[in-house]
Amino acid sequence: MIMITNSVLIVDDEISVYDFLQIQLEKQGARIIYAQNGIEALRVAAEILPDVILLDVMMPDMDGFETCRRLRSNPVLADVPIVMITALDDADSHLQGFKAGVDDFFTKPVDQILLLTRIQNILRMNRYRKQIEERANFAKELETKNLLLRELTQNLLEIQETERRFIAAELHDDMGQILTGLKLMLEMASVQSGDDLKNTLEKSTSIVSELSVRIRNLSLDLRPAMLDDFGLFAALEWLFERFCDQTQIIVEHNFSFRENLRFSKPIETAAFRIIQESLTNAARYAESDRISVNISVNSNLEIIVRDYGQGFDPSIIESKKYQSNGISSMRERVSLLDGVFSIRSTPGKGTTVKAVFNLT
């Protein structure tokens, strides 16, 4: 089976003179298309985008020179090689053809072998040109993707550093203070006796219990174990309950998927973090007493988190302040999974965060 790799448009009302050319080119995988006049040639050329055009000069209604000019005026066809077949062999005719945009001339009666060789050379050069263009486009696309990868990697590192600073601050400022107090109490206990020793030990036990709770909460903030063990639904139920207890903000949620439905681990993690970050931002800045979370599943996992608070001006959404509020983190999480992220806000009417992940 011969693979069609090139197309040749022949514009002439006498097609029999090209029988030899057609046979030879079709053996080499070229497709031959005929047009009998200039009007038809313009239509066919726009449809098939030929690799080369053989164009007769003497045609009814529109001669070859005018046809060539109109072909060249079409940006899509402007670079297609045009070989003019003519019975005119004078210098003026050749000059007129070159001005119209002709690349080469052949005089009738046509030397079929010479014309075949010329067409083969043109097709060969076209293949080289296309390969060079494809390589250039591939290199450009690769460079663009590499640049995007570098940006995403840098943003991911910044997100990691932010989380590390949070952990360091929690350990140093909060838990460090508790441990210092516990150390002092234990030092006091070493020289106490009786009721004083008993009271100090009771306080120390209370502090140890408080420290355990804080460590557990920090661990849960980093990654709740139930997200891995039981999935997104269970982790979100726990998150909403904990969030309501801490903030007294009502979370209305609607899940249109089965409780035991699992997604890939990266998607579950990203979905959980986006909802968690959206709730945190709403609690800090929205001044809203109610937040809605809607999740729907079909071929996509769609998450919509909406607060009904004060909102903000969308024109400053890319500002440093709002980027530091976790918007850039959410956007990068979605982007790394080839999802779609958007955020809309209206002053006085609240903010809506939307993330869509492809599940197919």
Residues 200 and 244 reside in one and the same domain: no
Contact 273, 315 (CB under 8 A): no
Q: Is residue 173 part of a domain?
A: yes
Residues 88 and 159 reside in one and the same domain: no
| Residue at which a domain ends, from 167, 195, 220 | 220
Residues 205 and 239 reside in one and the same domain: no
Helix, strand, coil percentages for the chain (3-state, nearest 5): 60, 20, 20
Q: Is residue 251 part of a domain?
A: yes
User: Over 50: is that where the pLDDT of 23 sits?
Assistant: yes
pLDDT score at 307: 93
12 vs 215, which has greater pLDDT? Answer: 12
Contact 87, 99 (CB under 8 A): no
Compute the distance between CA of residue 222 and CA of residue 129 in angstroms, rounded to an integer.
54
Task: Quote the percentage of the chain above a pLDDT of 90.
Answer: 15
User: CATH number for the domain including 298?
Assistant: 3.30.565.10
Q: Is residue 176 part of a domain?
A: yes
pLDDT score at 231: 85
Compute the distance between CA of residue 101 and CA of residue 94 in angstroms, rounded to an integer.
11
- When pLDDT is cut at 50, 70 and 90, the band that residue 246 belongs to is confident
Residues 326 and 254 reside in one and the same domain: yes
Residues 214 and 305 reside in one and the same domain: no
pLDDT in tens, 340-350: 999 998 888 89
Q: Is residue 28 part of a domain?
A: yes
pLDDT score at 325: 53
Q: 107: helix, coil or strand?
A: strand
User: Over 70: is that where the pLDDT of 339 sits?
Assistant: yes
Residue with tokens 């990868």: 149
Residues 294 and 187 reside in one and the same domain: no
pLDDT score at 5: 67
Helix axes 265-281, 232-247, angle to 10 degrees: 10
User: Over 80: is that where the pLDDT of 165 sits?
Assistant: no
User: Over 70: is that where the pLDDT of 247 sits?
Assistant: yes
- The residue segments making up the domain with residue 233 are 224-358
- Structural domains in the chain (count): 3
pLDDT score at 166: 67
| Residue at which a domain ends, from 110, 127, 147 | 110
Q: Closest Cα to residue 291, out of 246, 255, 252?
A: 252
Q: Is residue 79 part of a domain?
A: yes
Helix axes 91-100, 64-73, angle to 10 degrees: 20
Q: Closest Cα to residue 238, out of 228, 249, 227?
A: 227
Residues 212 and 261 reside in one and the same domain: no
pLDDT score at 348: 86
pLDDT score at 69: 92
Compute the distance between CA of residue 296 and CA of residue 128 in angstroms, rounded to an integer.
50
User: CATH number for the domain including 10?
Assistant: 3.40.50.2300
- When pLDDT is cut at 50, 70 and 90, the band that residue 252 belongs to is very high
Compute the distance between CA of residue 344 and CA of residue 331 in angstroms, rounded to an integer.
13
Q: Is residue 216 part of a domain?
A: yes
- State both tokens at 243: 């969030």
105, containing H or E segment: strand 104-107
Q: Is 335 exposed, middle or buried (0-12, 13-18, 19+ CB in 10 A)?
A: middle
327, containing H or E segment: none
User: How confident is the model over 184-189, as a mean pLDDT?
Assistant: 82
| Residue at which a domain ends, from 198, 220, 242 | 220
305 vs 191, which has greater pLDDT? Answer: 305
Residues 240 and 281 reside in one and the same domain: yes
User: How confident is the model over 67-89, as a mean pLDDT?
Assistant: 87
pLDDT in tens, 253-280: 888 766 678 888 889 988 998 998 899 8
Compute the distance between CA of residue 36 and CA of residue 42 in angstroms, rounded to an integer.
11
Residues 238 and 184 reside in one and the same domain: no
Compute the distance between CA of residue 164 and CA of residue 310 in angstroms, rounded to an integer.
31
pLDDT in tens, 148-162: 778 777 776 676 667
pLDDT score at 352: 93
